[in-house]
């Protein structure tokens, strides 16, 4: 069992609920600004006033919160993909080979076109899911579609950006970090396989 990490989060936990302990943050690929730790409950008593919802409603509350998470949390990747695409287009215009910008080569321009297609498709699916939440609908499939599209698009576009930048893309910096941050998006909040299961179930399969 891991020892609890020191810091304000652990101190807050001890004050908020005696018996609640938080372990040391895990080392993981990407998402360095989002620490992840084990949570230990040792005879932890939570006052009824701090309970979320009624007794026995945990599953429905969890599903509702996951719909929000799968929609809103992935919005950050839309912005990151937009930035990476902009930088990649700029590089394709500035970098020259054989007396012309590399963006003139079909192998490069088609990769960039695919990056744009993934970005805009994922963006629209995420907007649709957010629109549904704002209207008060409980559309699990919309959130699953958005989460699946954004996470898979981020990884694919990260690989394309690195390929277009060549050796520069493999060095420590913006593009390799973007890819490292994108890979966990296919895992957290439900893996890509779970999203496909949710979509299939919503389709009656």
Mean pLDDT over 33-50 rounds to: 83
In the chain, domain spans: 8-50, 58-202
Q: How far apart are CA 95 and CA 103, in angstroms?
A: 8
Q: Which residue has the higher pLDDT, 194 or 33?
A: 194
Enclosing H/E stretch for 113: helix 106-134
HSE (side-chain half, CA atoms, 13 Å) at 205? 7
Task: Note if 69 is an active site residue.
Answer: yes
Total Cβ atoms within 10 A of residue 179: 20
Least confident of 45-49, 88-92, 112-116, 188-192: 45-49
Instruction: Name the active-site residue from 32, 43, 69, 86.
Output: 69
Q: How far apart are CA 26 and CA 39, in angstroms?
A: 12
Q: How far apart are CA 37 and CA 56, in angstroms?
A: 26
What's the whole-number average pLDDT of the chain? 86
Fold held by 58-202: Butyryl-CoA Dehydrogenase, subunit A; domain 3 (1.20.140)
User: How many distinct helices (H) and strands (E) make up the chain?
Assistant: 8, 4
Band (56; pLDDT cuts 50, 70, 90): confident
Question: For the packed helices 174-182 and 75-94, what is the interaxial angle rounded to 10 degrees?
Answer: 150
DSSP 3-state of 27: coil
> pTM to 2 decimals?
0.79
Mean pLDDT over 32-41 rounds to: 84
Dump pLDDT digits (tens) for 63-72: 777 777 778 8
- Name every residue whose Cβ is closer than 8 Å to that of residue 178 and which is 6 or more positions away in sequence: 80, 84, 154, 158, 161
Backbone angles phi, psi at 29, to 5 degrees: -80, 120
Least confident of 21-30, 139-148, 185-194: 21-30
CA end-to-end distance (rounded Å), the chain: 41
Mean pLDDT over 161-185 rounds to: 91
Dump pLDDT digits (tens) for 105-159: 999 999 999 999 999 999 999 999 999 988 888 788 999 999 999 999 999 999 9
Band (16; pLDDT cuts 50, 70, 90): low
Q: What is the pLDDT of residue 66?
A: 75
Confidence check: pLDDT of 78 > 90:
yes
User: Nearest CA to 52 among 40, 62, 42?
Assistant: 62
């Amino acid at each position: 069992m891991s020892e609890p990490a020191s810091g304000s989060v652990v101190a807050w936990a001890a004050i908020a609920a005696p018996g609640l302990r938080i372990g040391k943050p895990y080392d993981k690929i990407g998402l360095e600004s989002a620490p992840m730790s084990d949570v230990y409950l040792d005879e932890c008593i939570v006052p009824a006033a701090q309970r979320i919802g009624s007794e026995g409603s945990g599953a429905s509350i969890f599903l509702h919160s996951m719909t929000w998470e799968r929609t809103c949390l992935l919005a950050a990747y839309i912005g990151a993909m937009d930035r990476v695409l902009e930088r990649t287009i700029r590089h394709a215009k500035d970098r020259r080979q054989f007396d012309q910008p590399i963006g003139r080569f079909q192998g490069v321009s088609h990769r960039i076109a695919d990056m744009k297609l993934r970005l805009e498709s994922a963006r629209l699916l995420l907007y649709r899911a957010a629109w549904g939440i704002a209207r008060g609908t409980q559309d699990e499939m919309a959130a699953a579609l958005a989460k699946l599209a954004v996470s898979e698009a981020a990884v694919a576009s990260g690989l394309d950006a690195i390929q277009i930048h060549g050796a520069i893309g493999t060095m420590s910096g913006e593009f390799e970090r973007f890819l490292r941050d994108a890979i966990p998006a296919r895992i957290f909040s439900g893996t890509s396989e779970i999203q496909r299961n949710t979509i299939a179930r919503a389709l009656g399969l």
